[in-house]
Chains A and B, each alone.
Chain A
Amino acid sequence: MNKIHIYSILLLLLGSKATFAQQTNSLVSKAASISFFSSAPLEDIEAKSSLAGSALNIKTGEIIFRVKITSFQFDKKLMQEHFNENYMESDKYPLSEFKGKIEECEKLAKDGTYKLNVSGTLQIHGVGKSYSTAATFNVKNGAIKAIAAFDVRLADHKISIPSIVGKKIAEVVKVKIEAAYN
């Protein structure tokens, strides 16, 4: 009876060790940065968050980004307040999230720089939409740096801009993402 217990514990330990080895397929980026830029006739708006989180799995190609809307910093604080209160409604939709897949992810196992397609669903303002973009991955000694840029159309995520401020906020916002995984 006792023997069986010890045996199973040993097995469990072995199992957990195996999973530990498996986990190296998954890399985490604790302080990914996400910035966006809106260029309109009357005003340029720029904001950045360096508190985004991301994780990817080089075996399966899964990749996830997540950011708190209130962590975006603006030069003009009144804009930041309007961004949270009027446009993103960050009390209702506190997070933005991207879940997708990296194509040809097996390349990430070797050192080098690769331009790979990433596609998946981006949730902003509680509305999800499919995106696909080419991202640059730089692999060195198992650590990965990734950069991607793409456009987000505000209307796609039901973010409405009143006509009175239409000349200050662009309909399409450029988003840039940078993450370092290890």
Chain B
Amino acid sequence: MKSILCIMLSIISLKVVAQEDLDKMIKLEGPKNEKVTATFKSGNLINLKTTETIHRNEMDFRVDHRFGDIGGSAGGAKNFFGLDNSTDIRIGFDYGLTDNINIGIARAKGATEVRQLYEGNIKYRFAEQTIDNSVPVSIAFFGSTVVSAMEATEEKHSAASFERFSDRLSYVTQLIIARKFSSSFSLTVVPSYLHRNYTAYNDQNNMFAIGIGGRAKVSKRIAFVADYFLPFRQSSKKKYREEVTGQRYYNALGVGLEMDTGGHIFHLNFTNATAIQESQFISETNSSWGKGQFRWGFNIARRFNFNKKEKG
């Protein structure tokens, strides 16, 4: 009896194995250490740099614009809610030396006493988050040097009363750490160090700051973006500067919408920062959201590809 059962069982097992699913015979080898892509869609959020770089032989042309105050004493209907003015305009070109190293040049109007800014910068992404989490975050280094081409002012206490060429220079160093938590949500933290060779009287030459930013996808092509910068100031100097100028320092906060049209990335944002460049908005944002001193801003970025198409 038992032996019959055994025979029957083995026949059944034979049949099952013979009809083995072709499905199981396919073992897909995915690309190894696959990298997470599109943590952010562009090299900038609003005021913040992201870990994104452009690829080798690509060029990114971007225009940033900040209008005047929407509300407050300088805003309102008389200047069409800030649209009559521009506090800062920046035009920049970035180029991909490799997929992870970008160099750039830019010209900005400048929004503090120091104007006519020329910037040279480098971004190097040296770690990329992987899908298997063996590398949990992407990390990039950003460094920029800004030189002011304006005529030195006579006003002795001004940040623009340059005496030597070196007085015109300021430097920004950032470590950008980012993680894409899901297909629709990414977060970044940006410890920053700012050095200005020359400042207004009794202002800080060196300043640490920390930036945080995030991107949340609303739909396939539209995302909500926000960023915030917290500078660490010496309280005595801050107090002195605020008394002398009669203006308070605020932290830069930006919120906006990012639209991806395929090739173009378009940002529409609101921020209290008047300046676009890190060397200025981190240290000298004197406008407050609470007083209606925030503004429309937009960034348009267009990528060009100089890679020759390989036939094959």
Interface residues, chain A, with chain B CB atoms under 8 Å away: 4, 7-8, 11-12, 14-16, 18-19, 22-23, 26, 28, 30, 44, 51-57, 62-64, 66-68, 70-71, 75-78, 81-82, 84-86, 89, 91-92, 95, 162, 164-165, 168
Contacts and interface: CB of A to CB of B under 8 A. Distances in A.
Interface stretch (B16-24, B105-113, B155-163, B206-214): B16-24
Interface in B66-80: none
B interface, by DSSP: helix, strand, loop or mixed? Answer: loop
B26 A55 contact: yes
Interface in B26-49: 26-31, 34, 37-38
B263 A53 contact: no
A152 to B, nearest CB: 20
B303 A89 contact: no
Given A15-B14, A22-B18, A55-B25, A85 B261 contact: no
B26 A12 contact: no
B262 A8 contact: no
A16 B13 CA distance: 8
A133 to B, nearest CB: 19
Contact of B34 (A70, A82, A85, A168): A70
Contacts of A52: 28
A53 B99 CA distance: 29
A44 B55 CA distance: 20
Interface of B: 2-3, 6-7, 9-11, 13-14, 17-18, 20, 22-23, 25-31, 34, 37-38, 54-55, 58, 99, 183, 220-221, 260-263, 303, 305, 307, 309-310
A19 B18 contact: yes
Contacts of B261: 162, 164-165
Given A26-B25, A165-B261, A19 B305 contact: no
B25 A76 contact: no
B262 A86 contact: yes
B9 A8 contact: yes
A54 B20 contact: no
Contacts of A55: 22-23, 25-26
Given A8-B6, A28-B25, 8 more contacts: A8-B9, A16-B17, A55-B23, A66-B26, A68-B31, A70-B30, A71-B31, A86-B262
Given A18-B18, A75-B310, A162-B262, A86 B221 contact: yes
A91 B22 contact: no
Given A7-B6, A8-B10, A92-B183, A76 B260 contact: no
Nearest to A23: B20
Contacts of A7: 3, 6
A93 B215 CA distance: 22
B303 A62 contact: no
A15 B99 contact: no
A81 B25 contact: no
B194 to A, nearest CB: 32
Contact of A64 (B6, B10, B23, B262): B23
Quick one: which of A81, A92, A168 has the most chain B CB within 10 A? A81
B48 to A, nearest CB: 20
Contacts of A22: 17-18
Contact of B3 (A8, A92, A168): A8
